[in-house]
Amino acid sequence: MNFTESEERVALRKAVAELGAAYGHEYYLKQARSGGHTDELWDEAGRLGYLGVSVPEEYGGGGAGIGDLAAVCEEFCAAGTPMLLMVVSPAICATVIARYGTQEQKERWLPGFATGEVRMSFAITEPDAGSNSHKITTTARRDGSDWVLGGRKVYISGVDEADAVLVVGRTEDARTGKLKPALFIVPTDAPGVEYSRIEMDLVSADSQFSLFLDDVRLPGDALVGSEDAAIAQLFAGLNPERIMGASFSVGVARYALDKGVRYAKERSVWGAPIGTHQGLAHPLAQVKIEVELAKLMAQKAAALYDSGDDFGAGEAANMAKYAGAEAAVHAVDQSVQVHGGNGMASEYGLGTLLGAVRVGRIAPVSREMVLNFVAQHSLGLPKSY
């Protein structure tokens, strides 16, 4: 058991942090407030290979694991330049295609993931299904050699930036007549694909969308991998999603904590830095502990996933996602408190994070569903839903 990151990952973190700092939180807020995206940062990160660190080497990637990609995500967030699409495109979509895609699908998509030139959204959530993926109503039916896909998805990140969407739907089992999960790669410019932005009270460079699939005709090879392996394929993407979500939250927490600590050192009242007062020092120290614990759990989840232990990774990834979200909420709240009125002033770059970190308690899986998972699978309690 080793709690020390490799020299390669430490160097990767340093390089990513330097790139993020070169753009900075001011760049991110400018893009977010203007309705723009972090295209320049994304493209440069892709050219430098940071977005493709976990793509297999034979397709132009770094050949590393989800732990290295999570480290990239964390460092960008810690630099004040969070890119939500990292949680979706290289983590979920590229991972699913690399593990379960056909040879043709791998050759078609993975080189673009490796360079960041391909961006792909992920669509599972539906208006009436919520967190219950068994109630998904998006369905695909065979029409000759093609598939015809219909349904609606909601709260889908970055559709306007994406070349395609990895859609979780259902197909009919020819033997039983029952519907079973299946994943399809749907180009965003395909006839019958429409999407509309959901207005959010968040300042973010990544927007949320409702996605409408009106009898979208897809070629037979739009189905990812085997029609009978969709459950395994789906969870192959959801564990990395939770690991990346945890690292995203940890990075934002680090950014907020650094701001709070710096201000507590520099701001003096009654002849002493405010950080000398335990009323501020202790809560900041508590946040530091929470952030480090969440980071450790995220690293454990990534190590388990990269070792092939999907069940163990599922437990750790859920716990990491929960811990990361809680740490981020506490970090931002405490940093705002340390700043006093300045915590809500635009120049200090904290106020916009109050709502942003709250999202971590809701998505990609709610804290209540994480607690349900831990209660049932870790503690062996009866299923409650």
Residues with Cβ within 8 Å of residue 73, at least 6 apart in sequence: 83, 86, 87, 91, 244, 247, 248, 251
Give the rounded distance of the alpha carbon of 207 from its chain centre.
Answer: 14
pLDDT of residue 245: 98
Q: How far apart are CA 304 and CA 179, in angstroms?
A: 31
| 297-313 pLDDT tens trace | 999 999 999 999 988 99
- Look-up: residue for tokens 């232990």? 309
In words, the CATH class of domain 122-227 is mainly beta
Place 230 in a pLDDT band, splitting at 50, 70 and 90: low
In words, the CATH class of domain 7-118 is mainly alpha
Answer yes or no: is pLDDT of 100 > 80. yes
pLDDT exceeding 90 applies to what percent of the chain?
90
Q: How far apart are CA 352 and CA 318, in angstroms?
A: 26
DSSP-assigned letters across all residues of 157-193: ETGGG-SEEEEEEEEE-TTT--EEEEEEEEETTSTTE
Rg (CA), the chain: 21
> Hey, where are the domains in the chain?
7-118, 122-227, 231-378
Q: Do the beta carbons of residue 342 and residue 264 sit within 8 Å?
A: no
**Of all helices (H) and strands (E), which one includes residue 120?**
strand 120-123
Q: Do the beta carbons of residue 157 and residue 88 sit within 8 Å?
A: yes
Q: Taking the model in full, what pTM does it have?
A: 0.96
Answer yes or no: is pLDDT of 179 > 90. no
Q: How far apart are CA 53 and CA 160, in angstroms?
A: 24
| 117-138 pLDDT tens trace | 999 999 999 998 866 777 889 9
Taking the CA of residue 176 as centre, how many other CA atoms within 13 Å lie in the half-sphere pointing to its CB?
Answer: 6
pLDDT of residue 131: 62
Residues with Cβ within 8 Å of residue 322, at least 6 apart in sequence: 367, 370, 371
Helix ranges (H only) for the chain are 7-33, 39-47, 66-78, 85-88, 94-100, 103-115, 230-266, 278-306, 310-339, 353-358, 367-373
**Amino acid at the residue 24:** G
What is the CATH T-level fold of the domain 231-378, as seen in this structure?
Butyryl-CoA Dehydrogenase, subunit A; domain 3 (1.20.140)
